[in-house]
Structure formats: structure tokens, C-alpha cells
Amino acid sequence: MSLRHGLLGLLAEGPASGYDLSRRFQEVLGALWPAQHPKIYAELGRMVDGGLIDIDSHGPRGRKAYRITEAGRAEVRRWLTQVDVDHTVRLEALLRSYFFWLMEPDDLARHLAREAEFYTEQAAIYRAYAERKDAGEFGSTPQVQSMRITIEGGVRVYEALAEWARWAATYKLPAAADGGAPEDGTANSDDG
Amino acid sequence: MSLRHGLLGLLAEGPASGYDLSRRFQEVLGALWPAQHPKIYAELGRMVDGGLIDIDSHGPRGRKAYRITEAGRAEVRRWLTQVDVDHTVRLEALLRSYFFWLMEPDDLARHLAREAEFYTEQAAIYRAYAERKDAGEFGSTPQVQSMRITIEGGVRVYEALAEWARWAATYKLPAAADGGAPEDGTANSDDG
DNA sequence: CAAGGACATGTCCCTTAGTACATGACTGGA
DNA sequence: TCCAGTCATGTACTAAGGGACATGTCCTTG
């Protein structure tokens, strides 16, 4: 249910519409906590019903800006201080690595090169963002300082993954495995 | 749909039951790719229907061991070589950090200390595992080498997060933010 | 004034994730 | 022999994720 608290947290900075919130989620958090607009609009509706937010104003094109209520502020604080962090990680890249022995060495080398490139790029995007912040481009409000910490996390995680992919490329896998069961080598497959 | 391919990958090492697969998913992959047993049993059933696996043997207590078929082997190879990696990351810890400005400095310090401790422990668990492998305790089949790469990924990601949490604890947040909208500081909350 | 693009909100539906519940077989020790 | 613990499989239900589709407004520019 962290989407709810993410939205509340953003609204704690000031009123915003579902459209605004969608964009802000994509901007910085997009690669760390994806959220599609259908979920956001639905959650906003539920939070209005629950009294955590209310409608601040109506704008052009049916725009509705939401404002956090005291109950909403209390709820996001409760989440931050009293709810245990969900430490679930779900990295498909690491799941795949468990099965590298099923890949041809050439395919694996290509795969790892592409992975390293991807993570390096992501890290660079975040690092550039961090540098703009450190240069004072966005001011130094508490909100900006918090965002800076989030960005630093992104940089570090993506750099770790990039280095991992490069390390893995140098790690010698014994052979181009066939995929047969190791205990009783019966299976034989000659297809590609 | 990576659960399917994860199961197929494990079955490529040799026949196993749903129970075995559940445990193996928890063992190494548990912290990197969670999978609950209801999902596993359901997916196994679907894969039997689809001809990707079949029943190898029946054991005591209704145990059913599954065996991968040629179609299954082809499918997991196709996944590894032709399907793009899903780079989605979902780190609640980083989402929360975006809202650190809403926390009292004391709460935040405690939070970051606990986070650092958690990630350090996770990294240590993986590192110990890696060392046992490097000492040759599990042999050096291609499967073990692949697992070694996965474990290295776990070590690096968790170490990165641990270092991030320690870094964040030293990063100066300007003030114990009130949570009022910065544009018009109206809200006042005196509750804890 | 027409057309394209960004703004803006939503529904529908299918898949996936995850918790709780239910059932029963075998095993080892008190 | 009973009981606890582990092995083993599954259903049912709820919540969350995510793509596709639908609708309409406002703004700029040719």
C-alpha cells in the first residue's frame, strides 16, 4: 500500500492534481517505484472517501487539485515512523543470473555488456541530477534535501549493478552448459 | 511471468517437487525474487498443461516430482536470450527516503541506523555464502558458478544500500520539517 | 479555422502477488 | 501410542500491477 503513502507524501508538499502526481512519480521515482496513472486516480478517489485528502480546487480541462488533510498528514507520518519497511527486492536481472549456466558464452557476454551499459546509463542520469542539486539549482528546502538522498540511493544501486555486470563478465563459467540434469546425464538435445 | 522461467530454470538442473522448488526459491533467491508456494503450485499445473514440464515420479505423502521437457528447456533458453530484461526496481526504502523531510531528526536517525544494520546483515549472509562457495564446499559445476554470480549481485546491492543508509545519516537535513505546504505555511499539528 | 499535441481524467479487464485457510501423510521421540 | 514437527499439496479470496481503451479540453501554429 505504499502508493497511497507516496501520494500523501507528495501532497504534503502542497496541492497537486492526479496528472501532476503521475508526472512526479515518473520523474524521480519512476525507476525506483513505478506507478501508472490508473492506479493513482483510483487511489486518490479512495483517499478522498477516507478523508485523507480533499479537493482543493477545480481547474481547466476538468483538472482537480487535491490537498492533504490533517488525517492524511498523520497517516503519512505514522507510515514513516511506525510501519516496518518492506524490504522486498525483486531484481529480474539477478534471477536471470542464476540461470547463466544455460546460456551460450557468446550470448552471455553480449547480455552482460548490455546490462552493464544500461545500469551505467541509469547511474549517470541520477548522478547528473544529483550534481544539479548540489549546484543549488533547486534550492535547498528540506524537500530538495530529501530528494537528494533518494537520488543518491539510485546512483549507488545502479552503480553497484553496473559493476556487478562487469565483474560477472570476467567471471569464468566452466562451459557452455547443455542443460541436462547433472545427476544423471540422460537428456540430450542437439537443437539450438 | 518470470516465476515460470525461474521454475523452469531450476527444473533444468533436474527433477524436483513443488515443495523442493519453494524451498530453493526461499534459500538463495528469497531476498531477490520472492515466490510463495501457492503461486508455485499453480504455475506448475499450468506448465504441465502447456507441455513445458511433466510429472517425473510420485513419492511419499503425495509428493510429485516434475521434470522439464524439451519444450520447457527451449522456453527457458528463449527467455534468457530473446526476452528483454525487466529492469523494474521497486525499493520501498528509497521511496521512503523521498519523504524524510517529514520525519523528526531523532526518528530519522533511528530509522537509518536500523536500515544500515539490516542491509549490512543481508550483505553478510550473502558474503558468507559466497565464501563457502569459493572454498569449494559446493563443487564447481556450472550451476554453482552461476549461483555464485547471483550471490555476488546480492552482496553488492545490499552493501550499496547499507553504505547509502550510513551516508544518508551523515547528510544534513536543514530542519525538523513540520509538513506544512512550503508555499503557505498554515497547517499546525502538535501531535507526536 | 482546422489539426495536432499536450493536458487531464477516468474505466475495464486481465494477470500477478500474497495471505489465510484446509488437508493429510510420514517420522521421531516421550 | 500419542503428539509434535516436518513434509507436501492445494483452494479461496483479496489486493495490487499494468496494458488497452475512451473521452474530452485547451493551446499553438499553419
pLDDT (average), residues B98-119: 96
- For chain B, the domains span 2-81, 92-170
A152 touches strand C (CB under 7 A): no
CB A76 within 8 A of CB A8: yes
**Which pLDDT does position A148 carry in this prediction?**
95
Nearest Cα residue to B44 out of B33, B55, B34, B28? B55
Q: What percent of chain A has pLDDT over 70?
A: 90
In this complex, the answer to whether residue B62 has its CB under 7 A from any atom of chain C, a nucleic strand, is: yes
Sheet hosting strand A64-68, strand order edge to edge: A16-17, A64-68, A53-58
Q: Do B187 and A103 touch (CB under 8 A)?
A: no
Average model confidence (pLDDT) across chain B = 90
pLDDT tens digits along B85-94: 999 999 999 9
- A2 near B95, Cβ under 8 Å? yes
Per-residue pLDDT at B173? 62
The three cell numbers of residue B136 are 569449494
Give B190's Cβ-side CA count (13 Å radius): 0
What whole-number percentage of chain A has pLDDT above 90? Answer: 82
Nucleotide minimizing C1' to CA distance for residue B1: C16
**Cell, residue B21:** 522448488
Chain B residues near residue A91 by CB distance under 8 angstroms: 32-33, 89, 153, 157
Side-chain half-sphere exposure of B146, counting CA atoms within 13 A: 25
DSSP chain A: -HHHHHHHHHHTTS-EEHHHHHHHHHHTSTTTS---HHHHHHHHHHHHHTTSEEEEEE-GGG-EEEEE-HHHHHHHHHHHHHSPP------HHHHHHTTGGGS-HHHHHHHHHHHHHHHHHHHHHHHHHHHHHHTTTT---HHHHHHHHHHHHHHHHHHHHHHHHHHHHHSPPSS------SSS--------
- Each residue of A20-67: pLDDT tens digit? 999 999 988 989 999 999 999 999 999 999 999 999 999 988 999 999
Amino acid letter, residue A129:
Y
Count of alpha carbons within 13 angstroms of residue B132, beta-carbon side: 11
Q: Which residues of B touch A125 (CB under 8 A)?
A: none
Report pLDDT for A76: 97
**Which nucleotides of strand D lie under 7 Å from a protein CB?**
7-12, 15-20, 24-27
Label residue B66 by pLDDT band (50, 70, 90): very high
Instruction: Judge whether A102 and B80 are in contact, CB under 8 Å.
Output: yes
Asked if residue A184 has pLDDT above 50, the reply is no
pLDDT at B28: 85
H-helix or E-strand containing B106?
Answer: helix B105-134
Whether chain A has a CB inside 8 Å of the CB on B96: the answer is yes
Q: Is B169 on the interface with A (CB under 8 A)?
A: no
The pLDDT score that the predictor gives to residue A16 is 97
Q: Please report where in the chains the cell 522456453 appears, as a residue.
A: B75
List CB contacts (< 8 A) between A172 and chain B.
145
Which chain A residue's Cα is nearest to B118? Answer: A87
pLDDT attached to residue A124? 97
- Overall average pLDDT of the A70-85 stretch: 96
pLDDT at residue number B174: 53
Q: What is the pLDDT of residues A90-131, one digit of tens each?
A: 999 999 999 999 999 999 999 999 999 999 999 999 999 999
- In chain B the first and final C-alpha atoms are separated, in Å, by 44
Nearest chain A residue to B158 by CA: give it. A157
Cβ atoms of B67 and A45 closer than 8 Å: no
Q: Is the pLDDT of residue B119 over 90?
A: yes
DSSP string, B7-57: HHHHHTTS-EEHHHHHHHHHHTSTTTS---HHHHHHHHHHHHHTTSEEEEE
Percent of chain B predicted with pLDDT > 70: 90
A-B CB pairs within 8 A amount to 262
B98 vs A179: CB contact, 8 Å cut-off? no
Q: Which residues pair with A57 in a beta bridge?
A: A65
Q: How far apart are CA B8 and CA B44, in angstroms?
A: 9
A77 and B CB contact within 8 Å: yes
Residues by Cβ under 7 A, strand D: A 1-3, 34-36, 38-39, 60-62; B 17-20, 22, 37-38, 41-42, 44-45, 59-64, 88, 90
Residue A55 contacts B, CB cutoff 8 Å:
no
**Residue A1: its pLDDT value, please?**
76
With a cut of 60, say whether residue A187 has pLDDT above it: no
pLDDT (average), residues B144-154 = 96
Which CATH code is given to the segment(s) B2-81?
1.10.10.10
Kind and range of the H or E element at B100? none
Q: What is the largest CA-CA distance in chain B?
A: 70
Topology (CATH level 3) of domain A2-82: Arc Repressor Mutant, subunit A (1.10.10)
Contact residues, chain B, for A118 at CB < 8 Å: 85, 87
Higher pLDDT, B92 or A172: B92
Asked if residue B181 has pLDDT above 50, the reply is no
**The pLDDT of residue A179 is above 80:** no
Q: How far apart are CA A145 and CA A151, in angstroms?
A: 10
Q: Using CA atoms, how far apart are residues B155 and B147, in angstroms rounded to an integer?
A: 12
Residue A53 has phi, psi (to 5 degrees) of -140, 165
Q: Is the pLDDT of residue B118 over 70?
A: yes
CB-CB neighbors (< 8 A) of A76 in chain B: 99, 102, 179
**Distance, CA of B73 to CA of A101 (rounded, Å):** 13
**Higher-confidence position of A73 and A178:** A73
Instruction: Look at residue A185 in the predicted model and tell me its pLDDT.
Output: 35
Residue of A21, A28, A92, A104 to mutate, testing the B interface (most B Cβ within 10 Å of its Cβ)? A92
pLDDT of residue A19: 96
Terminal C-alpha separation, chain A: 44
Question: What's CA A18's distance to the chain center, in Å?
Answer: 19
Task: Quote the cell numbers at residue A110.
Answer: 553480449
pLDDT of the residue at B191: 33
Distance B109 CA to C30 C1' (A): 50
Place of cell 505546504: B181
A36 touches chain B (CB under 8 A): no
